[in-house]
């Protein structure tokens, strides 16, 4: 999955700089990709799971370590994790019978930048 979002420059953007969600018009594909990611983060359990993975040393966690803290069964946690994987927020690696998940840091950075016009302007 591509993590960069080429944005359509706003008509009034000085110097043709890329626009953020708040500063210009997104291409349809980019808007769909962002919406899929934000939709995955629209569930508080998924946000907690993402934060739990980020808090682990090494930035990855086994699904077996995620079930008890959220108080859900392994199949339910796996369902939530599939949503995060499908949205491109985490990666999944199968090791034996357990799945290990890792955050995709550049995607989280991109999501933050998409909502912060100053972040995009600073990088231009």
What are 36-93's pLDDT values in tens digits?
999 999 999 999 999 999 999 888 999 999 999 999 999 999 999 999 999 999 999 9
User: Could you tell me the pTM of the whole model?
Assistant: 0.73
Closest CA to 60 of 109, 100, 107: 100
Our CA dihedral for 54, 60, 64, 66, rounded to 10 degrees, sits at 10
Angle at 71 between CA 104 and CA 97, to 5 degrees: 60
Contacts of 67 (CB under 8 A, 6+ apart): 73, 74, 77
Domain carrying residue 104: 14-115
- Total domain count, the chain: 1
Distance from C-alpha of 115 to C-alpha of 85, rounded to nearest angstrom: 21
Reported as a pLDDT band with limits 50, 70 and 90, residue 21 is: low
The domain spanning residue 62 has which CATH number?
A: 1.10.10.10
Would 5 be classed as within a structural domain?
Answer: no
Would 83 be classed as within a structural domain?
Answer: yes
């Amino acid at each position: 999955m591509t993590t960069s979002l080429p944005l359509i420059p706003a008509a009034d953007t000085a110097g043709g700089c890329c626009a953020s969600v708040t500063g210009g018009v997104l291409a349809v594909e980019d808007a769909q990709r962002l919406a899929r990611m934000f939709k995955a983060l629209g569930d508080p359990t998924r946000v907690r799971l993402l934060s739990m993975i980020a808090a682990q040393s090494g930035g990855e966690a086994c699904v077996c370590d995620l079930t008890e803290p959220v108080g859900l069964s392994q199949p339910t946690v796996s369902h939530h994790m599939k949503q995060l994987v499908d949205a491109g927020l985490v990666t999944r690696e199968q090791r034996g019978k357990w799945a290990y998940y890792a955050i995709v840091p550049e995607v989280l950075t991109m999501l933050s930048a998409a909502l912060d016009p100053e972040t995009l302007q600073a990088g231009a």
